[in-house]
Amino acid sequence: MPGKDQGREEMKKFKFRLQKVLDVKEQVIRKTQRDLAFHENQKAQAEAELTKLQETLMAQSQKIDAMHDDSVADIQMEYDYFYQLLEATKAQQQKIRQIEQKIEEIRNLLMEQQKERKILAKLKEKYQNSYLESVRKEEQILLDELAVIGSRS
């Protein structure tokens, strides 16, 4: 039965032409996800630092309020420290806003990358379904030929 062997030689394993592109897209997505996690961690650390600064600022404010009989130089020194804390708090808030902006950019990038990967995955599925359908048709033709050959015997 040479026809049977020839039919099997013709049936190739499914190979998606763009598989390497899909693989690269998935690697890029994983890298972007790691980048996002890194920046979210940075934000959490920056927020913790901001909380410490705000607590210190509040304590300094209470300390200044309690200063009644201290010298002007002591009060001025405490006010200077208070304003340093205030500036540090503002700078930390700005840092958090910048990190949030970066996180938003990364999220948008990640969404785009996932859309591209999804398009490729759907294309792969479409080609794979088409391939499977052609294999089924070839198998059916082969079975029909075998049935004809068997009925002649």
- Give the number of other Cβ atoms within 10 Å of residue 39's Cβ: 19
pLDDT band at 145 (very low <50, low <70, confident <90, very high): confident
pLDDT band at 7 (very low <50, low <70, confident <90, very high): very low
**Helices 19-65, 72-152: inter-axial angle, 10-degree rounding:** 160
Helices (H), ranges, the chain: 2-10, 19-65, 72-152
What the chain holds in terms of domains, given with CATH numbers, is: 2-7+18-152 (1.10.287)
- 9-52: per-residue pLDDT in tens? 456 788 899 999 999 999 999 999 999 999 999 999 999 999 99
Per-residue model confidence (pLDDT) at position 153:
65
Q: How far is CA 42 from the centre of its chain?
A: 16
Per-residue model confidence (pLDDT) at position 11:
60
User: Alpha-carbon distance 56 to 49, whole Å?
Assistant: 11
Note whether 41 and 76 are within 8 A (CB).
no
Look up residue 1 and give its DSSP letter: -
